[in-house]
């Protein structure tokens, strides 16, 4: 399925639910988390509806690679300090026991000065 009309993140990508956009291109959409854990906390999601990391296959390797390469660039643009003194965390929750709340693959990029509320 390329899109799920009942998915919260699909609705955000379509602009049906407002968000504060961090980045977008033909494959990816990034927006600020509405309940941030840290000074920098945004989500990066593929436009393609993939429920979780458990549904990722070899055909998604390029997409996931792009997400991992883009995350550091967006983290710096969003206000994270450079490595090694600065930095950020990348988190992908998978499934109920993994803490996933929205079933659309998404990467949390979290950073900024410590202490953070969580993590």
Helix/strand/coil for 105: coil
Residues near 54 by beta carbon (within 8 Å), at least 6 away in sequence: 94, 95
**106 is annotated as an active-site residue:** yes
Element (H, E) at 75: helix 61-78
**How many Å apart are CA 108 and CA 30, to the nearest integer?**
10
**How many Å apart are CA 103 and CA 82, to the nearest integer?**
31
Query: Phi then psi for 8, rounded to 5 degrees?
Result: -55, -45
Which residue is catalytic, options 49, 103, 104, 106? Answer: 106
Q: Bridge partners of 109?
A: 42, 90
Active site residues: 106
């Amino acid at each position: 399925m390329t899109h799920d009309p009942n998915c919260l993140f699909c609705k955000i990508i379509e602009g049906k639910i407002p968000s504060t956009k961090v980045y977008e291109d033909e494959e990816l959409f990034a927006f600020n988390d509405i309940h941030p854990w840290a000074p920098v906390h945004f989500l990066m999601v593929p436009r393609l509806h993939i429920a979780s990391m458990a549904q990722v296959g070899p055909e998604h390797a390029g997409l996931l690679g792009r997400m991992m390469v883009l995350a550091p660039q967006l983290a710096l643009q969003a206000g994270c300090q450079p490595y090694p003194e600065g930095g950020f965390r990348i988190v992908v929750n998978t499934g109920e026991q993994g803490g996933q709340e929205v079933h659309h693959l998404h990467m949390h990029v979290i950073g900024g000065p410590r202490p953070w509320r969580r993590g």
